[in-house]
Structure 1
Amino acid sequence: MSPSAREVEEVVLSAVRRGEWAHAANLLAGAAQLRCVPTIRTYAEVIAANSLNGTWEDAVRVVDLLQSSPLSSRALLCTAADALLMKPSVCATEKLFSIILAARRRRVQMEVRHQVQCSRLLVEAGDWQRALTLGAYGRPVRQIPALASPMMLAAATGRRWMEGSRIMADLLISGTVPGADVAKNYIRCFTPTGPWWRALAVVSVLVCSSDAGVTAAARGLLREVRSGVGEAELAAKKARYQTVLRLVERRGPLNDVSVEEASYVLNALGEERWEEALVSFVRSRRC
């Protein structure tokens, strides 16, 4: 005679209370093979215990172990996610991230709130790389526009303009109008070394383009660009000066220099190498 669902629940939950969560999963898997149907509470407690106390592999293993249960894989994975979100921490966030990816590999669609909350927790923890990974797999922003805000913040944190552009494109394709927070962080994704003008062009046509946060981000980017150009010019001048210095010290050939540099070399060398310096000066004048 098969045990009743209540009897199975009592035995399994007793193992959970003793801290034997792995053993509880095996007991539940065995009970699921019998004619009795374990209660939903039994499944929830076992999944939660494995998610909180084990690794993410343990949680996914239990889901695979209980595939014969009356509950769907989606219900089991969502139960594991809910358990982790009840006690958020860096460790719990990492487990939640791995469970969501495992669900995607199994073509199981998690609830929107799980993905949004996971993205936000990753960004708050400073793990913008995993947050971007979560958004890059399958382009979920097109189906879940709410992901755009935490994903764009992650891209802005890492100054990743390519990821930011992809998120903005997916959001526009979804038919959603970007808000001020998304637009502001989109601008912050760019640096003077990237196509920064693209950010300003895209944001200029948005409804929120006149928002104070957006305009402040735009001004900040322009300041970076102007500062970056000045630094680049200074670095170039320094490099050319080093070239001239090597020429003066006879450490290099007198070619490929500007008129100004050739004149400097001519004055610096004086009578010592005046013929060579004069040839360099004439060459530069012809160019």
Structure 2
Amino acid sequence: MFKKIVIASDFSLISDQLLEDITQFKDKGLEEVIILHVLPEGKKGERLKEKSLRKLEKREKLLVDEGIRVRAILKKGVPAFHIKEVTEEEGGDLVMIGTRGHNPLRDFFIGSTALTYIRIATKPTLVIKEKKRKRDMPRRGFFTRPIVPVDFSKYSDNVIKWTLKQDISNYVEEYLLLHVWAVRDDVRDDKESKAKWKEYARQRLEDMKKDYGSRKVKAEVFLRGGFPITQVKELVEDKGASMVIMATRGMGHVIELPIGSIAEGIVREVELPILLLPRVSLI
């Protein structure tokens, strides 16, 4: 699945939680982990360098003790851009990055580094929110019951294809395929058109379900009306989902391009881990 994973670390609580979460990939083809820390430029970065190297060494040892091959990289500059640069130069398959959750007074979106990186990412990114939990509290695997939102665009179709190619059937209890339908203004009062669209959507979902079944993977389909972010949150509660897997439409090199209002809203409001697949990584 993911052979080389880059962990973006700022030595915060959530960054250290990523070191715990990385162990979920040990039996899924993981070969190496890179822990990346980015110092500020100038004299402040110089002052922090030796201390940061010691902190990186300590975190390296934690993964070595888990039997994981690991390297640490220290850079100076803008974190988001170095995350992208190191991931591409080192041939990383996945970036793990933490956020401190949705706090309208502190992080209006999801934290400036995480948001900036997501918008320029060219590789899959696993966004994990900070949660206060007891160390001995068991956690479900990320891939136990993932939600895959689908809108029948080529991007979401490629996400379905991506999940079908992954050798994770032993770890997935079932995929939850969700389509939230919205009727265009020109057919809002046309009952026949609405009925045709719902039937089309239902058939597409059932076809996807059969594709998973042919690979001996269980899938459940959901066709709901309303606001997509709300429906994802409700499905999380209804079905005990473990993560969300979805595409973003950013080009990977233009920071002004949004990741999409729905994708950004889900990252911002859903408390689960979110696996974002940039469209350039799905080509």
**TM-score using structure 1 length:** 0.29
The structure with more helix, counted as a fraction of residues: 1
The structure with more strand, counted as a fraction of residues: 2
Q: Which has the higher contact order (CA 8 A, sep 6+)?
A: 2
Max Rg structure: 1
